[in-house]
Amino acid sequence: MTNALRLYMHYLSQSVRSQMQYRVSFIMLSFGHFLTTGIEFLAIASLFARFKHIQGWTLPEVALLYGLINISFAFADAASRGFDIFGTMVKSGDFDRLLLRPRSTALQLAGHELTLRRVGRLLQGLAVFSWASYTLDIAWSVPKIYLVFTAIFGGACLFIGLMVIQATIAFWTTESLELMNTMTYGGVETAQYPLPIYRIWFRKFFTYIVPLACVNYLPALAILERGDPMGFPIALQWVAPLICIIFLIVALQIWKIGVRYYRSTGS
């Protein structure tokens, strides 16, 4: 286990070093990423200027949801590049090489690259989150800090889990399906607004099938000390983010099944 962790860290440091060879390109791409993701928040702010609130939620409250989900997605997005390009690896047969190495394939793919330019989304997520926290004047206590960290960690686990599942599908289709983007990017988009604004089937989907509510809406309720119109037990708000760790573990088990069914394209 510690050995695997050391190897993973080694992979990451290699990846960081290679990306730092092109410093200007890195700065440019990070800035571009900051810009493209930041634009979404400008649009949200404009809507709030016109409509004032969305079912009782004000802009700073929504900004808290927005900040949380974007921070966790930035981490997940940076760490899962290997799973993202897995489809092309299957197609070209490059995955065979990974199988020959005496380490788990999931570990090797996770260590494939730490995409540093995702720092652009991370920074704008942090900026929006800080602004929200400042405007709402949240009294940060230990339990609330615990909530923020578990929400971000759980969120990252959830998104990595989704990307692992997306990659697993490529074992059968030899092609990554754009359709899964609805869960990842679509999930980010969805979680930027409070869950009760959506239709019931949609809420249920993002609560029970893809437990997005557990890392965003529920912990945010506890941080904001708001009542829940959907009537989940209060205790759930505190343990919910941890459910997503289970989600990731399940995803990795499905991945293992996928590896067993793998047939090389032979090219």
Partner 1 sequence: MILNLSVIKSYIAVLSARFRTLLQYRAAAFAGFGTQLFWGLIRVMIFEAFYRSTTAPQPMTADEVITYIWLGQAFLVLIPYQGADPDVRAMVRSGNVVYELVRPTNLYFFWYSRAIAQRTAPGVFRALPMFITASLFFNLQMPPSFSATCAWLISMLFAILISAAITNLLNISLLWTISGEGLGVLLSSLTWLFSGIIIPLLFFPDWAQTAINILPFRYLMDIPFRFYMGHISPEQIWYHLPFQIAYLIALITAGHLILTRGIRRLVAQGG
| Binding interface with partner 1 (CB under 8 A) | 22, 24-25, 28-29, 31-33, 35-36, 39-40, 42-43, 46-47, 49-56, 175, 177-179, 181-182, 186, 189-190, 193, 197-199, 202
Q: Give the number of other CB atoms < 10 A from CB of residue 254.
A: 13
Tokens standing for residue 122: 């991370």
36 vs 253 by CB, closer to partner 1: 36
| CA diameter of the chain | 59
Per-state percent for the chain, helix, strand, coil, to nearest 5: 80, 0, 20
| Residue labelled with tokens 């009294």 | 139
Rounded distance, CA 142 to CA 121, Å? 26
194 vs 258 by CB, closer to partner 1: 194
In the complex, what is the shortest distance from the CB of residue 197 to partner 1, in angstroms, rounded to a whole number?
4
In the complex, what is the shortest distance from the CB of residue 170 to partner 1, in angstroms, rounded to a whole number?
13
In the complex, what is the shortest distance from the CB of residue 216 to partner 1, in angstroms, rounded to a whole number?
14
In the complex, what is the shortest distance from the CB of residue 265 to partner 1, in angstroms, rounded to a whole number?
17
47 vs 254 by CB, closer to partner 1: 47
Instruction: Give, in order, the Cα–Cα distances in Å from 249 to each of 10, 39, 103, 182.
Output: 23, 34, 18, 21
Tokens standing for residue 82: 């290997």
Helix axes 181-191, 59-79, angle to 10 degrees: 150
80 vs 184 by CB, closer to partner 1: 184
- Are 167 and 183 contacting, i.e. CB atoms less than 8 angstroms apart? no
Q: How far, rounded to the nearest angstrom, does the alpha carbon of residue 90 sit from its chain's CA centroid? A: 24
Q: How far, rounded to the nearest angstrom, does the alpha carbon of residue 17 sit from its chain's CA centroid? A: 24
67 vs 111 by CB, closer to partner 1: 67
106 vs 188 by CB, closer to partner 1: 188
Instruction: Give, in order, the Cα–Cα distances in Å from 169 to each of 26, 95, 259.
Output: 31, 14, 11
182 vs 253 by CB, closer to partner 1: 182
Non-local CB neighbours of 261 within 8 Å, separated by 6+ positions: 171, 172
